[in-house]
């Protein structure tokens, strides 16, 4: 649009029953102020409850049992959560300009007052509203805007037993369905009432551009590409508009330098007070840079700009979007029965996760989306499923997915628990207003369809929409024939003729529509509840053919306990009690969590009914919260690495993909997550990151064969694989290098039986290090470190191993740009290598490089495990560095006399403010690590890249802890 201003600050809010003025009065004679009761500062975009929490008018529902102290809408009535939102803005219009007031999402309906004029926003959470307020705007003074927001019509109640979607009444509305609670979520008391998405004003000339649609088609093995573009144009003047309409396509070469790829201009006339649809002639591109999913190639994006000039008025409106040239196809694979996806003609093995939304109170932000999606890319995932009980995700979410290469499975607002089943039985016919549902669905398609990351539409979760809605969605989202069949041979350019129609004339036309998450190549494909399981497993079970019987599992879940610092941050001290471990007659253990853990949906690390011993107790008795959470991280790493490696080991033979339930929590839950709501990663994050590498070496825990996975399109030859076993005494009883290996593209290649188990005296607990590297230059392609016990055994011998003092050497360098820090931490295990082996053990973890120059600043070290006397020298060194700005590499030593593996090392970043209160959470979050929860064998070095932003006035320090390093090493970073 020609000019857009986002209204995201300066809002006030008040409960409607406490405001004694009308909307007309609020926007004319009696505007409120922040100092006037009952008005308070509001979060917009956001919800009523988010605003109440911000103002401490209610307890934090994410802390402890605070949610139980908040009045539920079922008990208060809808008026209690009916709120006024008020703001002011400036808007100067010239004589031929028009102004629109835009709401991208309101839940559930609203009465809008602007400068005394009333407008009504109809119902529906997932619809955009654009109001022409040209004749209402005050160009020469402040504009007063008041919005009275009404909750959903059917907020429902919460049965004592809780359950999936409460009493399911919310399913009668076109709104988020998780808000009545789920087995991973407490109820949201206001049911997300509020102005929950972007509010803006936009200024255009007499002609407005509406919802352009971009589609690309490919020929000659993706060398020739055509861009099709269609847009609606609205002439709001009383005269015929003589227009010049242009489309401009550029690509960024470097920095802010752009190359113009295509420029096309067309002249047209638009009748007065009318809307027309215009299709550009095809734009031709030869060998463009393609957009690829994460792990398959670069995410090349082109900037498409559409501009309309009106004779006598100049530029009237403009629109721009980052667009990726790519083709996504899929079909049901004959060999596996699973849906097999192809991108740009290449099959892609799907490894991803289920997504609810980033925050249960809809405190959505571009910054948080950036962190969320980068985390998923860092785990080497290539797909995110937006679950039907949550959101139709926002453009900011999709822009991040475009940039980081995450394919998106987007569901509409149907869930099996709320539509047709459950206790009490829910409404079997879905939402009451089917026309409203379809309106919201069609508007959502228009909002999102130009994003290359969007891969498919799905009717609902574990349920299909009612028949009439399903038929309508199938018709609306039917494929253009060019995109219809993945197995068809390339069509000649003549196939995109008027006979078939322009693909951009379709509502979408490029993506499949699947009626439900358990149909047509997902789970059993027929709608039976064949996803899951959702609890702790024996790691080796993931590798057995009997574990899961269908080709593509859209939901399989497990544990997700965060670190101890998070538990202390989200719960009072009574929530720091670890579970009771009750031994049952069958010899298995039942965990009994404390009431606060239970309320936060804790899922145990044992499963007596499935004969899974408590995986935390495999490491011995648990002493306290810190011990429990550290051992939980060991389990998290093993559990999720095994899950993904087990699926990958049968790539194309049994499976086409898997999506883990779930990647994150929209609140402070204690299950199914790779990072917590505070944005600190669990060790499961790094287990996934390891297992989902595009090129990966792994141990099959069922067969004990070592396998090489190549999910790329290139054959890899002249490879070598190093296999080394390390015991708890620091010796290497087994070492073998396998040379001249080949890894075929898109294949899993078994290499060799891991014979150590069959040796004369295998140790009951041991470490296994696998490395895959190029023989030509010793470049490491994959590194994988296991801790293992003999069949039927446990890890209890690791408990005394914690007393080992392994020497470490840390070489550090720092890059600082504004508030952004990037650290390179080179960590070496300096304990003596076995004399009989001459091993080169160097590994560098890589990550996306930020622009800028590197400055190497000194970092000082404290070894708290060896005494306080070091701290004096450390602080002196820091002050010296501040004064002199030293630029050399800093080498730090951690003392230790033992030889062996430095096990389960992990970094964290904290504020070094010495005035913080005891027990205060000093972590700086989020942090992006190239790797974490890593282990080093004697002589081995790893480089860990750490990047983060520092709040104003905070000095950061970096802490290193480990299983057998009880102290901490602190690196003080410089300004």
Instruction: Using the structure block, give the residue that is written with the tokens 């792990």.
Output: 295
Element (H, E) at 697: strand 695-699
Token duo for residue 3? 């000019």
Whether the Cβ atoms of residue 663 and residue 354 lie closer than 8 Å to each other: yes
d(CA 969, CA 892): 9
Which of 777, 717, 724, 723 minimizes the C-alpha distance to 749? 717
pLDDT over 70 percentage in the chain: 91
pLDDT the model gives residue 902: 97
Burial 45-57 (b: 16+ CB within 10 A, else e): bbbbbbbbbbeee
Whether the Cβ atoms of residue 626 and residue 320 lie closer than 8 Å to each other: no
| 641: helix, strand or coil | helix
What secondary structure letter does DSSP report for 714? S
d(CA 636, CA 682): 7
**Beta partners for 231?**
278
| 862: helix, strand or coil | coil
Whether the Cβ atoms of residue 116 and residue 135 lie closer than 8 Å to each other: no
What secondary structure letter does DSSP report for 520? S
Catalytic residue among 169, 198, 411, 462: 462
What secondary structure letter does DSSP report for 180? G
Integer-rounded Cα Rg, in Å, for the chain is 29
Largest interatomic CA distance in the chain: 93
Full set of structural domains in the chain with CATH: 4-202 (2.60.120.260), 207-323 (2.60.40.10), 693-782 (2.60.40.10), 808-839+880-971 (2.60.40.10)
What secondary structure letter does DSSP report for 469? H
Mean pLDDT by 10 residues, the chain (975 residues): 87 98 98 96 98 98 98 98 98 93 98 98 98 96 98 94 87 96 96 98 97 96 95 97 97 75 94 97 95 97 97 95 97 97 98 97 97 98 98 98 98 87 78 97 98 98 96 96 66 52 92 98 96 97 96 98 98 98 96 98 97 97 97 98 98 98 97 98 98 98 97 97 97 97 97 92 97 96 98 97 95 92 95 62 37 29 31 29 44 90 96 76 96 98 96 90 74 49
Strand 716-726 with 734-743, pairing: antiparallel
pLDDT the model gives residue 427: 77
Tell me the three-class secondary structure of 880-940, residue by residue: HHHHHCCCCCEEEEECCCCCCCEEEEEEEEEECCCCCCCCCCCECCCEEECCCCEEECCCC
Which of 671, 675, 668 minimizes the C-alpha distance to 570? 668
- 10 Å Cβ neighbour count for 79? 13
The reply to whether the predicted model has a pTM over 0.75 is yes
What secondary structure letter does DSSP report for 873? H
Tell me: cis bond preceding 38? Omega within 30 of 0 counts: yes
d(CA 406, CA 605): 30
d(CA 49, CA 193): 8
Tell me the three-class secondary structure of 611-626, residue by residue: CECCCCHHHCCCCCHH
Tell me: cis bond preceding 942? Omega within 30 of 0 counts: no
Catalytic residue among 198, 555, 940, 972: 555
Which phi and psi angles does 368 have, rounded to 5°? -70, -40
d(CA 687, CA 636): 8
Token duo for residue 727? 């015991």
| 383: helix, strand or coil | strand
Whether the Cβ atoms of residue 787 and residue 725 lie closer than 8 Å to each other: no
d(CA 676, CA 419): 29
E-assigned strand segments in 34-166: 40-41, 83-89, 98-103, 109-114, 117-121, 129-132, 143-150
Which phi and psi angles does 116 have, rounded to 5°? 90, -5
Clarify whether 714 is annotated catalytic. no
d(CA 757, CA 444): 56
Measured CA distances, 139 to 98, 313, 693, 960 (Å): 12, 19, 57, 58
d(CA 680, CA 658): 24
Helices (H) and strands (E) in the chain, counts: 13, 47
Measured CA distances, 582 to 585, 586, 909 (Å): 10, 11, 37
Whether the Cβ atoms of residue 956 and residue 948 lie closer than 8 Å to each other: yes
CA 570 to chain centre: 21
Clarify whether 198 is annotated catalytic. no
d(CA 851, CA 817): 10
Whether the Cβ atoms of residue 443 and residue 130 lie closer than 8 Å to each other: no
Whether the Cβ atoms of residue 145 and residue 113 lie closer than 8 Å to each other: yes
E-assigned strand segments in 756-807: 765-774, 780-789
Which of 511, 441, 500, 502 minimizes the C-alpha distance to 278? 502
Contacts of 408 (CB under 8 A, 6+ apart): 383, 384, 385, 386, 393, 398, 401, 451, 453, 454, 455
């Amino acid at each position: 649009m020609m000019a857009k201003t986002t209204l995201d600050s300066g809002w006030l809010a008040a409960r409607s029953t406490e405001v004694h003025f009308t909307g007309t009065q609020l926007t004319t004679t009696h505007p409120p102020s922040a100092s006037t009761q009952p008005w308070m500062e509001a979060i917009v975009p956001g919800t009523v409850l988010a605003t109440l929490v911000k103002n401490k008018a209610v307890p934090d529902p994410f802390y402890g049992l605070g949610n139980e102290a908040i009045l539920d809408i079922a008990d208060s009535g809808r008026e209690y959560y009916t709120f006024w939102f008020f703001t002011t803005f400036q808007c100067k219009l010239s004589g031929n300009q028009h102004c629109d007031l835009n709401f991208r999402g309101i839940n559930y309906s609203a009465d809008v007052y602007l400068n005394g004029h009333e407008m009504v926003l109809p119902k529906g959470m997932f619809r955009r509203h654009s109001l022409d307020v040209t004749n209402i705007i005050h160009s020469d003074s402040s504009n007063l805007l008041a919005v009275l927001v009404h909750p959903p019509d059917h907020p429902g109640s919460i049965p004592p037993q809780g359950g999936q979607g409460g009493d399911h009444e919310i399913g009668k509305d076109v709104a988020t369905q998780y808000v009545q609670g789920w087995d991973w979520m407490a109820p949201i008391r206001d049911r997300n009432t509020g102005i929950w998405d972007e509010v803006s004003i936009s200024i255009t000339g007499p002609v407005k551009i509406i919802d352009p649609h971009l589609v690309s088609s490919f020929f000659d093995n993706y060398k020739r590409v055509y861009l099709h573009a269609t847009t609606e144009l609205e002439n709001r003047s009383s005269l015929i508009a003589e227009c010049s309409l242009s489309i401009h396509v550029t690509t960024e070469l470097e920095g802010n330098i752009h190359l113009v790829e295509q420029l096309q201009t067309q002249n047209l006339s638009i009748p007065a007070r009318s809307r027309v649809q215009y299709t550009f002639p095809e734009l031709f591109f030869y060998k463009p840079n393609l957009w690829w999913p994460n792990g398959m190639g670069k995410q090349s994006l082109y900037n498409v700009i559409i501009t309309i000039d009106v004779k006598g008025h100049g530029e009237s409106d403009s629109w721009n979007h980052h667009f990726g040239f790519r083709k996504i196809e899929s079909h049901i694979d004959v060999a596996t029965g699973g849906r097999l996806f192809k991108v740009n003609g290449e099959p892609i093995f799907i490894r991803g996760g289920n997504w609810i939304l980033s925050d249960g109170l809809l405190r959505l932000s571009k910054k948080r989306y950036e962190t969320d999606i980068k985390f998923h890319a860092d785990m080497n995932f290539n797909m995110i499923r937006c679950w039907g009980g949550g959101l139709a995700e926002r453009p900011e979410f999709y822009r991040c997915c475009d940039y980081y290469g995450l394919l998106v499975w987007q569901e509409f607002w149907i869930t099996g628990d709320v539509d047709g089943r459950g206790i009490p039985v829910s409404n079997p016919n879905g939402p009451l207003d089917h026309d409203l549902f379809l309106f919201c669905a069609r508007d959502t398609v228009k909002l999102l369809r130009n994003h290359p990351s969007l891969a498919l539409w799905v009717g609902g979760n574990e349920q299909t929409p009612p028949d009439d809605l399903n038929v309508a969605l199938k018709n609306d989202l039917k494929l253009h024939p060019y995109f219809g069949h993945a197995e068809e041979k390339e069509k000649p350019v003549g196939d995109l003729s008027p006979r078939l129609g322009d693909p951009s004339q379709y509502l979408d036309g490029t993506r499949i529509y699947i009626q439900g998450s358990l149909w047509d190549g997902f789970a059993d494909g027929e709608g039976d509840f064949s996803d899951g399981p959702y609890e702790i497993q024996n790691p080796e079970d993931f590798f057995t053919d009997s574990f899961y019987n269908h080709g593509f599992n859209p939901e399989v879940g497990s544990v997700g306990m965060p670190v101890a610092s998070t538990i202390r941050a989200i719960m009072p001290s009574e929530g720091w009690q670890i579970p009771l471990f009750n031994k049952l007659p069958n010899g298995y253990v039942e965990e009994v969590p404390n009431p606060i853990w239970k309320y936060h949906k804790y899922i145990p690390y044992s499963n007596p009914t499935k004969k899974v011993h408590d995986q935390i107790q495999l490491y011995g008795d648990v002493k306290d919260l810190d011990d429990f959470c550290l051992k939980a991280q060991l389990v998290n790493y093993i559990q999720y690495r095994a899950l993904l490696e087990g699926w990958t080991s049968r790539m194309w033979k049994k499976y086409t993909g898997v999506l883990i339930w779930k990647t994150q929590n929209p609140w402070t839950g204690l299950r199914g997550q790779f990072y917590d709501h505070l944005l600190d990663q669990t060790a499961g994050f790094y287990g996934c990151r390891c297992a989902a590498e595009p090129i990966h070496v792994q141990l099959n825990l069922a067969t004990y064969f070592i396998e090489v996975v190549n999910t790329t399109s290139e054959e890899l030859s002249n490879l070598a694989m190093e296999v080394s076993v390390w015991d708890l005494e620091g010796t290497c009883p087994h070492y073998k290098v396998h040379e001249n290996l080949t890894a075929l593209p898109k294949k899993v290649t078994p290499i060799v039986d891991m014979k150590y188990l069959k040796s004369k005296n295998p140790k009951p607990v041991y470490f296994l290090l696998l490395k895959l590297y190029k023989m030509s230059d010793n470049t490491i392609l994959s590194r994988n470190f296991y801790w293992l016990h003999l069949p039927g055994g446990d890890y209890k011998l690791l408990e005394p191993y914690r007393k080992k003092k392994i020497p470490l050497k840390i070489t550090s360098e720092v890059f600082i740009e504004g508030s952004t820090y990037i650290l390179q931490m080179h960590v070496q295990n300096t304990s003596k290598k076995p004399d009989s082996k001459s091993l080169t053990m160097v590994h560098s973890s890589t990550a996306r490089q930020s622009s800028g120059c590197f400055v190497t600043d000194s970092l000082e070290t404290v070894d708290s495990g060896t005494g306080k006397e070091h701290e004096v020298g450390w602080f002196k060194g820091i002050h010296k560095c501040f004064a002199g700005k030293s630029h050399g590499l800093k080498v730090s030593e951690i003392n230790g006399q033992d030889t062996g593996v430095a096990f389960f090392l992990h970094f964290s970043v904290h504020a070094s403010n010495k005035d913080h209160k005891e027990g205060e959470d000093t972590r700086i979050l989020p942090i992006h690590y190239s790797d974490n929860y890593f282990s080093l064998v004697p002589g081995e070095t790893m480089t860990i890249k750490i990047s983060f932003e520092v709040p104003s006035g905070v000095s950061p320090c970096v802490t290193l802890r480990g299983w057998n390093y009880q102290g901490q090493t602190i690196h003080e970073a410089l300004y």
